[in-house]
């Protein structure tokens, strides 16, 4: 029996090869894999010796030969195939263990285009696809994690059809992902944000217990390319129950909101994918207390995001309320000890990259029936282009409050309305089909706290009624997109109430 081994990832190679030899396989190998086997005195024949054809073009051509691919693709149960093998002195190859040149690593390393292109594997995908196509007779192994299972079944006599089928599916997924990396790299190099043919590749990170509801199945997939971005897939789960689908959505919303406030300790509380508390403070504990005080009822069972290391004082305040999960850069030892008593509380460490990080660019993907919507992330904040449109310009304090409200507003479902001061969210209204209804909801929640506050609207006011409601609640200034056919009417309302109003020229719909 012949087995072909040609791997870039050499984890587990030696014991796997030793096991194959023990079970009667003759090994064929190439290049670095052959040298690794020879260094351990594992008997192996070079592909060049077996084919009678040396490696050429600097190693670009090694395994592209009829003696190799004929041996892999042959069907021993067909007499015609057996006769052809005999006529051409080709032996069947019953196991192929191949993984590919490290293209992904090269592409993300900052290497030159020439160096990256050289890491496009040609022979490897061909070997894998051939072995996978002929899974009825050949075992295709692309992942070192499968070596032990293959050896265990060989010890029982043969690799089962069930396992060969599983490895076949894995092999085709492996080569498809590899080609997707290449296509993505080339599109990026060409400056194509939205290529004509989009190929995506994600790795399964976690099987979830269920989706948004218990009757829906779900899984979490991560982008396999290493990134400097602050992500959930790059965060470490330190304790607590298994993360749910809804937990992950809310944790992602918390991260996105924290990135709006890099300069000071900040805390946010997310409930059903919308902020119900956001605040900055001189220290993390006071920021969290302020965020929780916005809506203590909604904070119960919420997701907390923090942009500084959790210290003992902050852990003490966190422990006062039932929470689903907390995500922060890291946790001091004393904080871990205090929160360990909350056994079901999920703690995630996003790493120090979260500290001081700003909103991130990139693409957002969303499925619809029969297709996929893709857009750039909403990360534009041209504060310098804001325009004062009322008789009274905002004070410095009002301008700071408007900027805080505007940053939070884009994380609230449209139609989004936010009231705040310079450091704290005061009330939220969102997800309504009428903008004035969002204002009324926020006013009802904020009450007397809204006196002297700033109001932000994620899009223009189509009528003056929203501004009138805000003025009655005591808001002193408004920031909004502008651009309505009734802008003059809305500006006049602000002037009547002595309010300052700024137009941003940017809309922040979140559907």
Q: What is the pLDDT of residue 187?
A: 87
**How buried is 400 (Cβ within 10 angstroms: 0-12 exposed, 13-18 middle, 19+ buried)?**
middle
Q: Is the pLDDT of residue 340 over 70?
A: yes
Name the band, by pLDDT with cuts 50, 70 and 90, for residue 225: low
pLDDT tens, position by position, 462-500: 999 999 999 999 999 999 999 999 999 999 999 999 999
Overall average pLDDT of the 371-390 stretch: 84
Q: What is the pLDDT of residue 94?
A: 94
In the chain, what are the domains? 2-189 (3.40.50.1380), 232-354 (3.40.140.20), 383-503 (3.40.140.20)
Q: What is the pLDDT of residue 118?
A: 83
Does residue 140 contact residue 168 with C-beta atoms inside 8 Å?
Answer: yes
* Stated pTM of the model: 0.85
Q: Is the pLDDT of residue 294 over 80?
A: yes
89 versus 290: which is more confidently predicted?
A: 290
Q: Residue 286: which of 265, 300, 271 has the closest Cα? A: 265
- The lowest-confidence range among 51-55, 96-100, 152-156 is 51-55
Q: Is the pLDDT of residue 60 over 90?
A: no
Report the DSSP pairing between strands 417-420 and 425-429. Answer: antiparallel
Q: Is the pLDDT of residue 226 over 80?
A: no
Partners of 387 in beta bridges: 503
Overall average pLDDT of the 189-198 stretch: 84
Q: Which residues are part of the catalytic machinery?
A: 133, 272
Name the band, by pLDDT with cuts 50, 70 and 90, for residue 57: confident
Q: Is the pLDDT of residue 80 over 90?
A: no
Overall average pLDDT of the 193-217 stretch: 89
Q: What is the pLDDT of residue 168?
A: 96
Q: Is the pLDDT of residue 453 over 80?
A: yes
CA distances from 466 to 179, 273, 438, 472 (A): 52, 24, 9, 10
Alpha carbons 76 and 85: distance in angstroms, whole number: 9
Name the band, by pLDDT with cuts 50, 70 and 90, for residue 87: confident
Q: Is the pLDDT of residue 227 over 70?
A: no
Name the band, by pLDDT with cuts 50, 70 and 90, for residue 382: low
Tell me the backbone φ, ψ of residue 31, rounded to 5 degrees.
45, -130
pLDDT tens, position by position, 397-429: 999 999 999 999 999 999 999 999 999 999 999
Q: What is the pLDDT of residue 250?
A: 96
Q: What is the pLDDT of residue 8?
A: 87
Q: Is the pLDDT of residue 304 over 80?
A: yes
Q: What is the pLDDT of residue 195?
A: 84
Name the band, by pLDDT with cuts 50, 70 and 90, for residue 143: very high
Q: Residue 53: which of 41, 33, 68 has the closest Cα? A: 68
Alpha carbons 273 and 384: distance in angstroms, whole number: 30
Question: Percent of the chain at pLDDT above 90?
Answer: 70
CA distances from 431 to 69, 75, 412, 474 (A): 59, 61, 8, 23
Name the band, by pLDDT with cuts 50, 70 and 90, for residue 198: confident
Q: Is the pLDDT of residue 212 over 60?
A: yes
Q: What is the mean pLDDT of the chain?
A: 91
Q: What is the pLDDT of residue 228?
A: 64
Q: Is the pLDDT of residue 360 over 60?
A: yes
Q: Is the pLDDT of residue 459 over 70?
A: yes
Question: Percent of the chain at pLDDT above 70?
Answer: 97
């Amino acid at each position: 029996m012949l087995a072909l081994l040609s791997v870039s990832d050499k984890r587990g190679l030696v014991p796997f090869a030793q096991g194959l030899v023990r079970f009667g396989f003759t090994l064929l190998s190439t290049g670095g894999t052959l040298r690794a086997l020879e260094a351990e005195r594992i008997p192996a024949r070079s592909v060049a010796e077996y084919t009678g054809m040396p490696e050429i073009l600097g190693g670009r051509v090694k395994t592209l030969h009829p003696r190799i691919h004929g041996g892999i693709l042959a069907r021993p149960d067909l007499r015609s195939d057996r006769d052809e093998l005999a006529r051409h002195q080709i032996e069947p190859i019953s196991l192929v263990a191949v993984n590919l040149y490290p293209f992904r690593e090269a592409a993300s390393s900052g290497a030159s285009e020439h160096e990256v292109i050289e890491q496009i594997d040609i022979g490897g995908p061909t070997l894998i696809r051939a072995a996978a196509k002929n899974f009825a007779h050949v075992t295709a192994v692309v992942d070192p994690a499968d070596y032990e299972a293959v050896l265990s079944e060989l010890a029982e006599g043969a690799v089962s059809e069930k396992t060969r089928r599983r490895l076949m599916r894995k092999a085709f997924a492996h080569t498809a992902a590899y080609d997707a990396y290449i296509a993505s790299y080339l599109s990026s190099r060409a400056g194509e944000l939205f290529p004509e043919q989009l190929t995506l590749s994600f790795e399964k990170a976690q099987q979830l217990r269920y989706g948004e509801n218990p009757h829906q199945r779900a899984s979490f997939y991560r982008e396999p390319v290493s990134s400097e971005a602050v992500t959930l897939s790059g965060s470490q789960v330190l304790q607590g129950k298994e993360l749910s689908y809804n937990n992950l959505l809310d944790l992602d919303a918390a991260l996105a909101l924290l990135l709006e406030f890099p300069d000071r300790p900040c805390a946010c509380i997310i409930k059903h994918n919308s902020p119900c508390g956001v605040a900055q403070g001189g220290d993390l504990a006071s920021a969290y207390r302020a965020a929780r005080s916005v809506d203590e009822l909604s904070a119960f069972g919420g997701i907390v995001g923090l942009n500084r290391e959790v210290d003992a004082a902050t852990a003490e305040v966190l422990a006062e309320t039932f929470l689903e999960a907390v995500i922060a850069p890291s946790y001091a030892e004393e904080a871990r000890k205090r929160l360990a008593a909350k056994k079901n509380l999920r703690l995630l460490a996003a790493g120090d990259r979260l500290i001081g990080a700003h909103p991130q660019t990139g693409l957002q993907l969303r499925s619809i029936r029969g297709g996929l919507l893709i857009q750039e992330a909403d990360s534009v904040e041209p504060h310098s282009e804001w325009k004062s449109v009322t008789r009274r310009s905002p004070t410095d304090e009002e301008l700071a409050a408007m900027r805080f409200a505007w940053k939070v507003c884009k994380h609230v479902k449209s139609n989004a309305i936010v009231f705040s001061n310079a450091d704290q969210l005061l009330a939220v209204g969102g997800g309504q089909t009428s903008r004035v209804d969002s204002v009324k909801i926020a006013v009802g929640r904020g009450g007397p706290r809204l006196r002297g506050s700033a109001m932000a609207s994620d899009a223009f006011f189509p009528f003056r009624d929203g501004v009138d409601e805000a003025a009655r609640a005591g808001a002193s200034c408004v920031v909004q997109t502008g651009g309505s056919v009734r802008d003059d009417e809305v500006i006049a309302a602000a002037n009547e109430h002595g309010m300052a109003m700024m137009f941003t020229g940017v809309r922040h719909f979140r559907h």
